[in-house]
Structure 1
Amino acid sequence: MTSRLIVWRHGNTDWNAGSRVQGQTDVPLNELGRRQAVEAAELLAALRPDAIVASDLSRAADTAAALAARTGHTVTYDERLRERFFGAWQGLTTAEVAARRPDEFARWKAGNDVVGGDVETLDDLGKRVADGLQDAARLAPGGVVVAATHGAAARQGIAHLLGWPVSQVRTLRALQNCHWVELTLSDDGAWQLSAYNVGVFAERPVPPAV
């Protein structure tokens, strides 16, 4: 029986809306984000998840809670699913980062590791999140697991599971708020990408996955 892992980005926050770097700052969902979580949960509940796991940051935890309310499952929290730690960037708008830390910002825009600012490396991020996702999937072997996490964390963690190089990761556009990725586990134990950026909502500008 095929295992399915749904990696779900949290709903909108005021910092998303203002292009402000969240990182591991615990920013709550705004009204739009709470509505997005409820509407997306209606679709995800139809997949009959066997387990729900979430980052312990409230924007992901509260997104997962909307699905738990529909399914009756208890949410398991895992800090490994937290967003990338952005160090000195956290709390700044992306425009402020570009103005105050231009070299670091240029490397980030190019998809490379940021040198300086105490920003978590892409490799450390990918390994951390992938480990959390692997353990989440083990909660329901052969079943469906939903993991609520964050934009940059989702993209890098998924890429690490798939064994993709950095250059290939950049072919994945940022996940929209409350959209998700579906992965399936093949018979030989390898993860495969089945669907990307799936969700309820019409196309709109994508807030930075930070």
Structure 2
Amino acid sequence: MTLLVLWRHGQTEWNAIRRIQGQTDVPLSAVGIAQAEESAPRLAAMQPTVLVSSDLRRASATAAALSALTGLTPTYDTRLRERGFGEWEGLDHPAAGSRWPEAFARWRSGEEVEAAGVEEVDAVAKRMVAGLLEAVDAAGPDAVVVAATHGAAARMAAVALLGLPLTYASSFGALHNCHRTVLHRHPVRGWMLEGHNLP
């Protein structure tokens, strides 16, 4: 049985002040580094066989904590990056909401956003799923694949892999820093959810 673990990166300074990151390459804070080091042993206990990561520093540094314990060499894939938030990146929520009130309200309610260069949900899901399935298929049967990635992108990927409408992504709830979503691939039923937002 193949396991896929979608592991969100540790906290950044922008996370702490609710500044929108998207694909801006913000490093882990001291808190985020500690979170990765605390979380890594729990993932190591799952005996991962493959470690892949977004190339953004907050994800790659999180992956490095698991690499140090397991000896796995991570591979980096731009397809595992966070959703691009266009002109919103670098703004806090009140600033983005005041400049794009209607679009921001749609985003907050889990609807599609067609403003400010925000990446479409379908595009995020497609690139994430392509990158994840490539890693899973290359790993072979009974692999445990850990993907160090980002919160919104991970939720969209999970929903897409489960065959659910992408509008369900907001129903999953936020994936906290250094928490994970775990899926397994059943030989007949396909991808199945084992747990979401696990520490």
- After TM superposition, the score normalised by the length of structure 2 is 0.97
Whether contact under 8 Å (2:8, 2:177) holds in the other structure is yes
Identical residues among aligned pairs (%): 49
CA distance in 1, matches of 2:143, 2:102: 45
Whether contact under 8 Å (1:111, 1:166) holds in the other structure is no
Q: How many residues are paired up?
A: 198
Shift in Å, 1:189:
6.1
- Encode CA deviations 1:68-112: one digit per residue, 9 max, x unaligned: 000001000000000001000000001111111101101101111
Match of 2:171, SS state, is coil
Whether contact under 8 Å (1:51, 1:139) holds in the other structure is no
Whether contact under 8 Å (1:136, 1:147) holds in the other structure is no
2:106 — aligned with what?
107
Shift in Å, 1:168:
2.4
Higher helix residue share: 2
1:193 — aligned with what?
193
1:156 — aligned with what?
156
1:203 — aligned with what?
none
Provide structure 1 residue ranges, at least 5 long, that are not aligned to the other structure. Answer: 200-210
Whether contact under 8 Å (1:37, 1:63) holds in the other structure is yes
CA distance in 2, matches of 1:152, 1:32: 20
Whether contact under 8 Å (2:36, 2:65) holds in the other structure is yes
CA distance in 2, matches of 1:27, 1:167: 28
Shift in Å, 1:163:
1.2
Residue 60 of structure 1 aligns with an amino acid whose one-letter code is A
CA distance in 2, matches of 1:66, 1:5: 18
Shift in Å, 1:157:
1.0
Whether contact under 8 Å (1:8, 1:148) holds in the other structure is yes
1:121 — aligned with what?
120
2:170 — aligned with what?
170
Work out whether 1:38 is the aligned partner of 2:37. yes
2:71 — aligned with what?
72
Residue 178 of structure 1 aligns with an amino acid whose one-letter code is C
- Encode CA deviations 1:38-91: one digit per residue, 9 max, x unaligned: 110011001110010000000000000000000001000000000001000000
Instruction: Indicate the larger mover: 164-173 or 58-67.
Output: 164-173
2:80 — aligned with what?
81
CA distance in 2, matches of 1:134, 1:189: 16
Runs of 4+ in structure 1 off by over 6 angstroms are none
